[in-house]
Structure 1
Amino acid sequence: MKTPSARNVPALLQALHQEGYTGTVRVSGSPSGTIHLRDGLIGAIETPGAPTATSALLASGRIDDDAWLAACAAEPDADRLGSHLAAAGLIGAAELEVVCTAAVFDGAFAMALSPPGGWELTERQPTLLACPGVEPRPLAEETTRRIALLSRLWGPASELARVRPEPVTGRDTPESDGRLTRRHRDLLESVNGRRTPRDIAFSRGRGLYAVMLDLIRLEALQAVRWETGTSPAGRPSTAPRLPQGQAVSDELLPRAGPLPRRRPGGGPPNGDLGAKGG
């Protein structure tokens, strides 16, 4: 391939996009990640930091395990698995596109929470794909927007990713007086003081970014609490924080659910793959 040395992952992906590259980019770091490209578009991102589309479909119960195993047996090429799932009536094509695209944006966000290491290019590896895929530039823009929003609402997103929230119990909690939505009540079922936002995302089959937004909301409502860590240098964070108990307007918290769509022609949906531009 002709891609020159890139200064960072977003720049690499943009160069691969211009080449129409099909293959895999393995990125080292914590968390690491595998980025799957088809004709220059990002079809999937797999990282220990966030649920994949497969995890979201199975953990949420949208597709049961037996049906999933039967579909995988019927269509062994994972690149074509999405079409098979829709043709078999296990999920609508539009819903599957939303789930797979959301997983791409969420995986990029999770990988951007810590500095990446190196990367290597390998051959195509079949996987469940968002079709037609996401262009690198809007993916990077959306990731930057998400990190900036979390910083404005709470503080450093990387620090929020490490908290272990616990539920607040008592007669006057938001859960007891009916102030929580069904989504928030469901999330509280996975809050136990030991799980991080990533753990909760995997257990619920939801995106990491969406879970972090909901935890900010629940903390503001005094439905959950956690101890705030310090910066890597050992100093308390000076990032903006909402005072405990101050309401967070739902208008400020974007829904997790359909994510920005890729626009034909390369226009940004309002999305990005890393706080560091490409």
Structure 2
Amino acid sequence: MKKTVYFITFVLLAAFLGLVYYGARHWRGMPVQIERFETPALNVAFMDKDIDLAQGLAPEVWQEIKLQEIKLMYQVTALPWPKIKGMLSAVTVKAFHSKENIYFYMSWPDDTEDRIHETTQFSDACAIMFPVEKDVQPHTIMMGFLGRVNIWQWKGNQDREYWQKESPQTKAYVDYYYPFEDKELFPVSQHVTKFAVNDLLAIRVGTITPKDVQEVMGKGVWENGVWTAVFKRPLKSLEGENGVNFISGKRLSALAVWNGSKGDRGGRKSISDWLELNIQ
């Protein structure tokens, strides 16, 4: 009888200690295996040309540049994992610089043109991230994770509002059409889109914020089930430590794409690992 009691006690104690050990090892969540891609390289050659985005994306210029296909993975998020609906396997990218500006071209397939951002509707978007500091993490994991980075985010809804001069779709807000008035009396409550691209800064998770100086221009076109977006920015940043300067040599970057019709928004997106820019 005593042997049975001792045995049960031993088993329960061992199980308890095992649970304590497991909890101590995984108190921040289950370990996640991240597929490691070989770092691809993208040549950023000099071309004595500039693009006026108000006139379009200048496809004749981009035809001269060799494209690079970059693999994407779905961003790691906290468990439980969201149902992955909008996973995009790859994005096409090109780049060049003139004497004053640097240009990036991103293109990816998308069956729907999503340019509206509402409570249950989400806009298509894409972004490029550049680490500001020299020491960077071995994986991108997410945009703005454990390091100061500059993020350029183009959004379809902002593009529509900025370039096509169409107002946001939202038709109601807290003081919309004050009672008995024919027009809005408090325009301060209305959102005014000043850019098609958000020039952002992040230091770690949850710190993403617009930069004081918005230096990046961008424009996107959806045609025949394909999005094409072009970014434009001066080679030299106007913001010292919060900006990125593009000089000859190598620089890391990473890409991201949001598929609005599949529910992508915020942290739900497809991202690349590091992409090495070879600025010539």
| TM-score > 0.5 by shorter chain | no
Max Rg structure: 2
Q: Aligning the two structures, in what range does the TM-score lie when normalised by the shorter sequence?
A: under 0.3
* Larger strand share, 1 or 2: 2
